Amino acid sequence: MRNLRNQMVHEYVEDPAVLASALQSGHAFVPALIAAADKMIAEIERRGWV
């Protein structure tokens, strides 16, 4: 995930095929990102911060 993020943020992707591939790769990480966000929310609630 980190490598893809760095590529997307720090490089100007001119080739549409490369950009499409990067976006599709990023889409594959959506479940992992949602799971991480859910864990953070649960921990915040456990600590009574919200």
- State pLDDT tens for residues 6-36: 888 888 888 899 889 999 999 999 999 999 9
The set of residues, in sequence order, having a beta carbon less than 8 Å from that of 4 and lying 6+ positions away, is 22, 25, 26, 29
Would you say the pTM of this structure is higher than 0.75?
no
Angle 2-10/16-28 helices, nearest 10 degrees?
Answer: 150
Q: How far apart are the two ends of the chain, measured CA to CA in Å?
A: 29
Residue 9: predicted pLDDT: 84
Owning domain of residue 23: 2-46
Would you state the pLDDT for residue 11?
83
Query: What tokens were used for 2?
Result: 């980190």
As a whole number of angstroms, the distance between CA 18 and CA 32 comes to: 23
Model confidence at 45, pLDDT cuts 50, 70, 90, reads very high
> How many folded domains does the chain comprise?
1
